[in-house]
Structure 1
């Protein structure tokens, strides 16, 4: 995936007035994620707390994060694409300082998610933050 710029995503959401259009855009964002290889769909990479099947692999190169992730649900893939845009390229310390859920509040997405999806989103954010904390402990 060529990581989308979070500013561009926010701008595109602001242009779309209708929630049906916003959901379509969210699904399109999810399609930009490259499929996760089957060998990466392991228990260790599975994000716990998500109703959908969600996997995350965090890569660190020169102290900056990049992500491979996937889900079996279209809307969840779109949410993951937004989170990848929020967190990609940041250091572990920067990741811990970012309030990604604030981005979802500003996009008014949080209020349009089911409680299960909202909990899954929080689980995914916590997994990324956990990976960042782990890097800080080991370096």
Structure 2
């Protein structure tokens, strides 16, 4: 998975919009699970879809119940990602991970604790075991890219 055969243009790997960051803040501020869920779904809508030609098997994150794709590019010692999923909730959860990791150094990403991060949002215990496993797989893929810095 760390070396997909087709990779999006480096120009697509960039810092996230303020709108995405603000959407994550709204999730954290939501008072109940229904509001958080709705905000997660809205966050997913803010992430641009991946072009069909990049929805390839070698870019898929293994371990996700839904189809999920992840690409990585390193710019000046910072890691940038593009992600997409065929499931709206997964795409929103991916957005949470992107906000935590986009533009960060190798050291910061390798120290990232996905369980603690999702607990901060009150998501622990709210996601099904298969969703939790999928998110863990996605977080592990994000970290794995920091070990394969030649991409």
Same structural fold, with TM-score higher than 0.5 when normalized by the shorter chain? yes
Between the aligned partners of 1:117 and 1:44, the Cα distance in structure 2 is 21
Contact 2:28 2:120 in 1 (8 A): no
* Cα deviation code 1:44-86 (max 9, x no counterpart): 2100000000000011111111111100111101100000000
Q: Which has the higher helix share?
A: 1
Runs of at least 5 residues in structure 1 that lack an aligned partner in the other structure: none
- Using the size of structure 2 for normalisation, the TM-score is 0.82
Change over 3 Å in CA distance of 1:76–1:34 after alignment to 2: same
The answer for the alignment partner of 2:69 in structure 1 is: 55
- Using the size of structure 1 for normalisation, the TM-score is 0.89
Between the aligned partners of 1:59 and 1:15, the Cα distance in structure 2 is 31
The answer for the alignment partner of 1:117 in structure 2 is: 131
Contact 1:65 1:88 in 2 (8 A): yes
Change over 3 Å in CA distance of 1:10–1:40 after alignment to 2: closer
- CA-based RMSD of the aligned residues comes to 1.8
Contact 2:59 2:69 in 1 (8 A): yes
Instruction: Kindly state the Cα deviation for residue 107 of structure 1 after the two structures are TM-superposed.
Output: 1.0
Between the aligned partners of 1:129 and 1:21, the Cα distance in structure 2 is 29
